[in-house]
Structures are given as C-alpha cells and as structure tokens.
Structure 1
C-alpha cells in the first residue's frame, strides 16, 4: 500500500513538472511573439516616418519649380497635412497597432495624392515648354528688331556727333599780355595792372549763326579761379563752372577777332597760369602763361 502511494505521488509530481514546463514554454513563446511584433511595428513606424519625411521634402521641391499660385497653395496645404500626420506618427506608441495601421492607410492616400500632383505638374511642364519655345522664338525676333533699331540709333548718334563736332567753334592764336598802368608790358609781376587776352574764333559755316557768349576762366597756379564782382557761373556738362570774364559777340560763320580784359585788383603770385575759353557749352580753346 505504501509502495502504491509513492508511485502515485511520483506520477503526480511528474505531471506537475510537465505542466509547468509547458506553461513556461507557452509564456516565453507568447512574450517572444509579442516582442517580435513590437519590433516589427517599430520598424514599420520608422519606415513610415521616413516616407512621410520624403513626401514633405518632395512637396518643398515641387513648390520651388511651380509658379502657379493656386497650385502652390494646394501643394502647401498637402505638405502641412503630411507634416501633421508625421507628428502623429512620431507621438504614437509602438504598441498601438490600430493607430499605426491607420497612419499606414493615410500614407497610401498621401502617395496617391503626390502621384496626381506630379502628373499635373508634368503636364504643365510640357505646356510651359511649348510656350517657352514659342516665347524664345518671339524673343529672338525681338532681339533682331532691337539690334536693327540699336544699329540705326548708333548710326544716327554717330552722325549727330559728327555734325555736333563739325559745328563747334574753335579758338586759335591765343595770346596773353600783362600790362602796367600805362598799358605797356609790365617788367615785374607787382606792376601788372591788366591782363589782355586776344584770340580768334575760327571760321565755321556749320555753326548756327547768331549772338553768342564767350566765357573765359583764369586759373591761378593753385588752380583757383580769378574772379571779381562781375564774375559768375555758366553751364558745362551738367555742372556749373565759375568764369572770370564773359563777352558777347555775333557769329555769322566767318572769323571773329576777340579781345578780353582783366583788371588786376589783387596780388598775383608767380607761377604758371591757365586760361580756358568756352562758347555754347564747349571748351573751344585753352592756353597757359607765366607771370
């Protein structure tokens, strides 16, 4: 009887051990399956995240090449939607299988929408290329017309410049006399009481006849201009220059003798002086003299 009890106890113990082993194996397998599933969802989540980032970047690239404001606005809205879905994906737990599957379905929609926009943009690109080819032809024709107009303008300007140069007056035989108070040549600079400037306005039948004014600038050795109460300014190349003396004369196309006087009322330094003569806004002659 005692021996029979021991056998029964041994059988029960073995059965319990077998049950424990089977249960432990089942639990370990279930945990392993769950771990494998979580790893799978983690990989799925990472792959989806990369896809969402890629689509967001593609929308940025599409916006850079699109000039249509309406289409750009639609692309911007879709990009914001993709970014929102990406944020949802990044915040969802790996164990939330239902949410991950929902976002995976959303990703398919995003992919389809992106494909549709790419097709629209490709169609617009072909249309723009055709319009671009036509536009380039028109631009080429326009460049040819502009080139012809430019050539004619340059020829006209060159001709105008020749006419302008041909019509400019010229001063020649410029002389300067430094006289004393008796009207004789001064021997010393301190005796100079008057400077007398003589020159000729050369003959030029191309110059428009009429009353003209000659402006004479006397520049001292320090390049400052001699001036008095009768001095003023005149226009020259978009600026105003100071003149020392001016004199009006009538020009009819023939040579004109000119004499202009400067009464010395200030101390004159020794050195090289310069005179410039202007008529009709042009420098027609210049000379230098030494005192």
Structure 2
C-alpha cells in the first residue's frame, strides 16, 4: 500500500514538472514572437520617416533649382543644364513616391550628388553676377566720360588725337554691353510640345508620328517669365527644316523672309503676340499641303534678332 502511494506521488511530481516545462516553452515562444512583431513595426515606422525626410530634402533642392534658374535667366545666362537637372530631380521624386523597395542609401547618394552640383552652380552664378556688375559699372563710367567729353568742346579739340583710341574702346564696350543686355531680355521658349493633327482634326502628341496620320503639325511652347523683357508686341518666326536641310515654305500659307544676322532668311510661319510676362503659351499650327517625308524635322524659333530656341520631331 505504501509503495503504491509513493509511485502515485512520483507520477504527480513528474506531471507537474512537465507542465511547468511546457508553460515555460510556450511563454518563451510568445515573448519571442511579440518581440519580433514589435521590431517589425519599429522598422516600418523608421522606414516611413526616412522616406518622408528624403522627400523633404528633394523638395528643398527643387526649390533651390527654381530660384537659380530664375536668377540665371534674369542675368542672361544659359539654363539648359539647370533645367535638365530639374527634370531629373522630378523623375527621382516620382520614383521615390512610387517605389515599393525604398533604398535610403541610394537616395542619400543622389541627394549628395545634387547638393554638390548646386555648389558648382553657386560658383558659376557668383561669377555671372560679378561679370554683370563689372559691365554695369563700366557702362556708368563710360557714360560719365562721354558726358564730360561732350560738355567740353574746346577741350575735346585739344586732346582729340590722344583720346581717339579710348573713344573707340568705349564704343566697343558699349556695344558689347548693349548686346548682352538685349540678349538677357530676349524671349525664352520652354516646355516644347509637338502634335500631329490628322484629317479628322484628332491630335496626337509625341516625338514620332506616322506619315499617313499627319495632316497638320502643331508646335506649342511657353514663354518663360523674364523681368528684363518689355511687355510689348513681339514677332516670333518659326522655321521648319526637313530631313534634307531645306526650309519648308509656301508664300500662299504665310511664309516669307526676315533679316537675321544681316542676311535674308526664309521662315515657314510667323506670329505676332503681346508678351505679358505671365508664362503664356504660344502655338503654331502649320498645314504643309502635301505629305511629310520620313526623317527628323527641326523647328527653329527666332525673335528680336536672336534664335531663341529649337525642338524636333520625327516622321516614320
């Protein structure tokens, strides 16, 4: 009887030990799973915050680029490289927001590259400001010298030979300054688009068009805002050059000739506009009246004695 009781106690103790062991195992597994879930939530939150910080940095760089493009344009500099950089930045921003596998390391490298390019452009912009300031100061000095010379006719006669070289130099510098100021105030097309219009009036945008679907060609662009450009009537000439290098023209459809660089130059079409300095859109719709041959066509734009821009499209 005593042996049976001892055996029963042993079984009970073994059962308790097994139950405690199982409880410990299950507790460990639950704690471990909860910890992994918490770590995953923390990781997702950190990744979201990093994405938002990256997007904020890209927005800041975009704003800096806009400011530099505006200032370089006002100073008469070239903005093609800055505009290309802005277009790449917009593509990176779009990729960032649509990416399912966001890589912080990849975008940090891109941001460092953009920041380095901005520093380079700051140096170029400082040089452009300096050159414009020098030209303006020279112009003021030269105007002052000219005024003094004009007010002293008798004195001018006695020093005419000594100042002949200086006067010539003044004229050359004034001409160069005038040309730079005029160039800075020239119209600046941007955001080009080319559309093919078929015989039913349906438009198709792009850079390549099938010949049988092209009845008319529409070239549209915006005129950049420029505080140096006067709000007045402007004449914009459009030259469409075919794949052989010949200018497409037909006097019956409004083609003609204008003076460019001292030479008579044929244009395809022209348009008189009132420049409003508001980013207005200008459109040329040209009906050739015959089929377009296959190849690449260039579209050149002229105004105020300058070639102000160009684009192209392909007929296939």
* Bin of the TM-score, shorter chain as denominator length: 0.3 to 0.5
